[in-house]
């Protein structure tokens, strides 16, 4: 974040207090809370709700939730309405490769046999093998 004119600080390794980054940029200024967690299954709406609560408590302008897994559709829709950026395992893998030039396997991928109409999987699918 420092390359974009912001400063960052690790506030706590607890899931209750994510890392924070502050920017004085006129358009993107303010506090951004970043929470990264390893999930083995679908990340539900409660995780995004929790980040929204912490954002309100710290007067954060934006939030970023990073996972090694994937997000449900309800989580994605809620995040769009509440200034939260979601980064799933497939996107995390791409970002690590792009910025660090390292190939990683960040975690699990969504079940392949589930259909959107089953309402068992509502997040974005992982990479195709």
E strands present in the chain:
6-9, 19-23, 30-37, 62-67, 84-87
Structure tokens at 37: 């967690």
| Extents of the domains making up the chain | 2-118
Residue 80: pLDDT band with limits 50, 70, 90: very high
- Residue 127 makes CB contacts below 8 A (sequence gap 6+) with 90, 93, 109
21: pLDDT strictly greater than 70? no
Ramachandran class of 119: left when φ > 0, alpha when ψ lies in -120 to 50, beta otherwise: left
> Which one of 3.40.1350.10, 3.40.50.150, 3.30.360.10, 3.40.640.10 gives the CATH number of domain 2-118?
3.40.1350.10
- Say what the pLDDT of residue 26 is: 54
Confidence of residue 39 (pLDDT cuts 50, 70, 90): confident
**More confidently predicted of 104 and 20:** 104
Interior/surface letters 52-66, b for 16+ CB within 10 angstroms, e for the rest: bebbeeeebebbbbb
- The C-alpha R_g of the chain, in whole angstroms, comes to 15
More confidently predicted of 129 and 83: 83
Joined together, the tokens standing for residue 52 give: 């929204």
Task: Give the mean pLDDT of 45-66.
Answer: 91
């Amino acid at each position: 974040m420092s390359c974009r004119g912001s400063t960052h600080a690790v506030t706590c390794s607890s899931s209750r207090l994510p890392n924070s980054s502050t920017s004085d940029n006129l358009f993107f200024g303010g506090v951004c809370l970043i929470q990264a967690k390893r999930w083995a299954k679908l990340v539900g709406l409660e995780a995004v709700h929790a980040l929204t609560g912490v954002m309100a408590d710290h007067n954060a302008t934006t939030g970023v939730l990073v996972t090694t897994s994937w997000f449900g559709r309800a989580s994605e829709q809620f995040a769009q309405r509440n200034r939260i950026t979601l980064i799933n395992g497939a996107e995390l893998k791409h970002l690590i490769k792009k910025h660090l030039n390292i190939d990683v396997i960040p975690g699990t991928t969504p079940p392949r046999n589930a259909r959107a109409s089953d309402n068992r999987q509502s997040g974005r699918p992982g990479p195709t093998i």
